[in-house]
Amino acid sequence: MSLPTLLTQHIVRRPQRIALLQHIAEQGSITRAAKSAGLSYKAAWDAIDELNNLADQPLVERSVGGKGGGGARLSEEGQRVLRLYLRLQTLQAQLLEASEDAADLGLLGRLMLRTSARNQLHGKVIGIEAIGHNDRIRLELARGLVIEARITHDSTVRLELAIGTEVVALIKAGWLELHPAGQPAMAGDNALQGLIEQVAAAENGPSEVRIGLPNGQTLCALTDPLQLRERQLEVGGAVQVRFSPTNVLLGTPL
């Protein structure tokens, strides 16, 4: 079974995050793996969330608060990705030796840009519906979870979107609204159910809330602390995540 194109790209352009898988396999702990990889504990968690979101299945299985700051091990899929990463290290060395000019590497870097959007979810197109000058794009994420995006028809054409096209859905953390689970959502909005895994408060500004989705992917939301208290949203509790289809940006592999 081949890896999602977007995950394969990620292996090439952000090898330090993939290398974290090797440290997790060796250490069996998020804290120890982060230290071994030269990452902060938070950066390690962010890397795991990003990798899991780009894969069809979670690469890392974890338990919060275990020995050493949280136990962790690679899933079978994670072990397979690690094997691929180790093979790519050899190929990368060969590529660097074969490049004709330093500008070659600069060009590759520009073609594989990073993005500031915290939420990057791998999925595939399962429906395209024209609505005036816009198109409603239905996306199937891991394990059958479905969301919708709304983009211009020109964007659909430029991205060459069709049924089955692999995409990454980009959603900024500030675009997510958190509500008590079970509340009726506004018509047309995406509404996903999840569990609050962590709330990181800030001295000034919104709290960063990490939500685990039932398909193994995660979302990060920025929410006012007062709103969290008023809606009785806390770690371990169920939550409904809402966002407009117009706030879902789409990207495709180069």
Contact 143, 215 (CB under 8 A): yes
| Number of neighbours of residue 190 by Cβ within 10 angstroms | 20
| pLDDT greater than 50 at residue 111 | no
Among 15-19, 72-76, 138-142, whose mean pLDDT is lowest?
15-19
Lookup: tokens for 215: 């398909």
Q: For 59, phi and psi rounded to 5 degrees?
A: -90, -25
- Domains of the chain and CATH, by start: 5-111 (1.10.10.10), 119-170+247-251 (2.40.50.100), 173-243 (2.40.50.100)
Region 104-119 average pLDDT:
61
- At residue 254, the 3 state secondary structure works out as coil
The pLDDT > 90 percentage for the chain reads 48
More confident call, 138 vs 204: 138
More confident call, 108 vs 62: 62
Query: What does pLDDT average to over the chain?
Result: 84
Among 35-44, 110-119, 176-185, whose mean pLDDT is lowest?
110-119
Region 155-163 average pLDDT:
94
d(CA 22, CA 5): 21
Region 242-247 average pLDDT:
96
Give the pLDDT score at 64. Answer: 56
- Residues 126-149 pLDDT 10s: 999 999 999 999 999 999 999 999
| Burial zone of 222 (CB within 10 Å; 0-12 exposed, 13-18 middle, 19+ buried) | middle
CB-based contacts of 160: which residues, under 8 Å, 6+ apart?
252
Give the pLDDT score at 219. Answer: 96
Task: Report which DSSP code applies to 29.
Answer: B
| pLDDT greater than 80 at residue 218 | yes
